[in-house]
Each structure stands twice: as C-alpha cells, then as structure tokens.
Amino acid sequence: MFKNQYLNDVFNGLCARNAHEKEFLQAVEEFLESIDLVIDQYPNIQKYGIIERIVEPERLVSFRVPWVDDSGKVQVNRGFRCQFNSAIGPYKGGCRFHPSVNQSIVKFLGFEQIFKNSLTTLPMGGAKGGADFNPAGRSDNEIMRFCHSFMAELFRHIGADIDVPAGDIGIGAREIGFLNGFYRKIRNEWTGTITGKGLTFGGSLARKEATGFGLCYFVEEMLKVMKNDSFKAKKVVISGAGNVAIYAAYKANELGGKVIAMNDSKGYIYDESGIDIDYVRVLKEEKRVSLDQYLVKYPKAQYGTVRTDIWKIKCDIALPCATQNELDLESAKVLVSNKVIVVAEGANMPTTLDATKYLQEKGVLFAPGKAANAGGVATSGLEMSQNSMRLSWSFEEVDKKLKDIMINIFENAYKASEKCGYKGNLVLGANIAGFLKVCEAMIAQGVI
C-alpha cells in the first residue's frame, strides 16, 4: 500500500487490532499516505517509533451515562473521551452528542485533532469525545439531566491544564451551559475547563462564528495565492445547517459570494436568488425545525428530500460542513462535471478518500478539514487564553486573530507541500506541517 515498509508494517498491525474501526483507519490511512512521501528524509521517525506511538491514543475512556427521562424511565447511553496526544499541550477537542458516536468515531476525530491543533500554532494536544445520545426532541430538563450524568464521570479526566473539551455536533450553547455548570459545582472551582461558554460566564466573542468564518478566510487566501481569485461573484453550495454552515454562509456572502443551497438531515433547499441566511438561522437556532420550512417564506425556492443531491447543484465553491464521508466519489464527479473550482472541508473528514483523490487529480482546489476548519479550535484556544488572564477581548480583536491564524495555517500547509515537491497539495502539506511539529516534541520528551 505504502512505498515505505515501516509504514506498511505499522498500518497492517493497526488494521489487525482495530478491524472494526473504519473511520479511524480511514483517517490514519490518509495521514500515512502523506507521510510516505517524506519519511525517508526523517530517519528519526522510525528510530523513535513515532508512527507506532502517534496512532495509539494516550488514553481512551469509555463509560456508561445513566439518566432519567421525563416519563421517569431510566435510560443508559455510552460516553467516551479519547485523549490522543498531549506532546505540545493539554488535550483539546470537542464532544458530540449523536447516535452515531462510537469508539471508532471518537478515535478518528481525536487523531485528526492532533494535527489540526498543531497547525494553529497554539499549544494544544488532540482529543475528542461524546456520547451516543440524541438531543433531538428531548426537553431541556432531559438534556440537563443527561449532561449532568455525562459530566459526573467526565470531570475525573479533564481540567484547564489536562484536557479542555468544547462543543461539536449535538452540543450547543444549552448543553455547554449544563456541562460547565455541573463541572463547576462538583469541582468547586472556576478554571475555564470547557470552551464555547456563554458570554456571561467566560465565553469568547466570535466563538460561535469561528469555524465558519475561519473556513472562508482559508478559502479566500487559497483562491488568492493559488488562483489569483476570490469569493467575488462565486456561487456557493454549503452542506449542513449548524453553526459551521450558517456562519460560513454569512462570511461567504460578506466576501462577495452567493450561497444558493444548504441542507440538513432531512433534505436540501436551493434558492437561485441567494439563500436568506438570517431566516435559516432562525429556523435552525431558534425554531429548531427542518429546512423544508424555508419554503413557507420563500415558496419559489426548491426543496429536495435527498440531502446528498445538494452536490448536483452547479456551483463554483462547495463547502461540506455537516459530517464525515458525506461527499463521495459519485458526488465529486458531478461537482467536477459542473466545473467546481474549490472544495473546502468545514466538517471533519466529510469527503471520502477516493473522492478527495479524484478532486485533486482533476485540478480542483481542495482544502482538508484539519487545516480549513481549524478556526473553531483556534478560537477555543483564544478563549482559554482569555480565561487564564481573566480578560475579554472584543469581537474585532478575536476575529483578527482568527483571520491571521487561518492565513498562517494556509501558508504553512502550502509551503510544506511545495517543500516536498507536491506544490498545492494541501492534504499532504497540512498532514506534514502538523505532524512534524508534534514529532519533534515527542522525540524531545523521550519514549512516554
């Protein structure tokens, strides 16, 4: 599979031990394909067993989460925290509440988080966690009871200088409030251990917008450097309707693009005249209803019940911002036939490996999630800094720092791709640039 036999041996062993963890193995395979191109230049990687160590989490915790629903029935879910690598700083990464959450999912997310956090240049290690709980349709009291039970175990494994969780799919401001409140109560301390908090209790301005804004800052810089182009007059299709998608849509429009389609788990909307993002935000953040309700106000818009059909809509820029493996090879071929210019990942690994390779082969500018969607964790890092200093920065200050970080991430990934002879391959560049920093730290600290 790989040219380097050492990488083959490590990966084959990993597959044998984790055969059922397809998402995790997919993430490792993509990473090793990049390292395969440069490993001969760095003999210390094999000498110090860096690959064997970096593909194994430092700690993986699984626990039951019992809670009582509104009818008085006891429910039990499964919770996880995967603390993957802390070589460059305390573990940092989100938690998600979704029925799909399992050990493979949290390991893949935690593994990706190592390199994403490294690319931000902030001192943060990689972790991820969550539970197979679905908050959809649950009352506020049910969600509070679940969050309290989840934190009753998680608190043992986190701390401001140990592991700092944040939100992800299924964990928004409401859930963060419940989690943070219970942590504060049982630890009897206020240390900013959780990020994504409300502004009244230590949160950072621009955190909600950060991943979506950061994605667009990355794409804008990529277009500028690699195409001498910009968002201006570009038609944009965005999958998802959560924070990432909504605020990517706001920023894409602000930069001169026109968002014409978005989707959620039930289907997609297409509005050739441009999506009303304010109304989408109201539907999803305030009313918490399906996007089919968009047609109530805009009956001339189109609605489709097959959410993946969104990739059939002709566009210049495609931003998959929903979940893993949502954009497959068939969809990639349709995008290419429709002359897409850019595909940039706002979600974690939303593009399958074969689709990624196809897009790159066809000359589409491709931005991998570990680089392009790092704005959220970067701003979480800025929230950690503000909490430590007991300060609060303005929206403009945080947004400027975010933009500078995203431009720097692009430059580092682009330079790394150029240095190893694959100029413009940002998948390779992001993997190598993120990895080498962690690798150096691991070697310096010995075999631990």
Mean pLDDT computed over 113-134: 97
Span 112-137, mean pLDDT?
Answer: 96
- Output the pLDDT for position 392: 95
User: Average pLDDT, stretch 78-107?
Assistant: 98
pLDDT tens, 266-307?
999 999 999 999 999 999 989 989 999 999 999 999 999 999
User: By the 8 A CB rule, do 218 and 410 touch?
Assistant: yes
CB 432 within 8 A of CB 117: no
Token pair for residue 64? 């039951």
Q: Which long-range contacts (CB under 8 A, 24 or more apart) does 39-48 make?
A: 39/4, 39/6, 39/7, 40/4, 42/436, 42/439, 44/439, 44/443, 45/439, 46/6, 48/442, 48/443, 48/447
Residues 159 and 252 in one domain: no
The domain boundary residue, chosen from 324, 339, 367: 367
Residue 130: beta bridge partners? Answer: 80, 96
* 101 in the same domain as 218: no
Residue 88: CATH number of its domain: 3.40.50.10860
What integer pLDDT is reported at residue 162 of this predicted model?
A: 97
Structural domain harbouring 116:
59-190
- Average of pLDDT values for 98-110? 97
In a domain, 28, yes or no: no
Q: Which residues contact 330 (CB under 8 A, 6 or more apart)?
A: none
Catalytically annotated residue among 128, 197, 235, 284:
128
Residues 180 and 321 in one domain: no
Closest C-alpha to 218, from 115, 364, 116, 367: 367
Average pLDDT of the chain is 96
Q: How confident is the model at residue 417 (pLDDT cuts 50, 70, 90)?
A: very high
- Regarding whether 161 and 250 lie in a shared domain, the answer is no
118 and 184 assigned to the same domain: yes
The string of pLDDT tens digits covering residues 105-118 is 999 999 999 999 99
* CA–CA dist 425, 243 (Å, integer): 28
Average pLDDT over residues 437-447: 97
User: Residue 240: left if φ>0, alpha if ψ -120 to 50, beta else—which one?
Assistant: left
Say whether both 163 and 247 belong to one domain.
no
pLDDT digits (tens, 9 = 90+) for 149-188: 999 999 999 999 999 999 999 999 999 999 999 999 999 9
The pLDDT confidence band at residue 3, using thresholds 50, 70 and 90, is: very high
* φ, ψ of residue 342 in degrees (nearest 5): -135, 135
Q: Enter the pTM of the model.
A: 0.90
Indicate the number of domains in the chain: 2
Give the span between the Cα atoms of 395 and 392, in whole angstroms. Answer: 9
Is 99 in the same domain as 231?
Answer: no
Q: Write down the pLDDT at residue 394.
A: 97
Q: Kindly report the backbone phi and psi dihedral angles of residue 393, in degrees, each rounded to the nearest multiple of 5, phi listed first.
A: -90, 155
Assess whether 128 carries a catalytic annotation.
yes
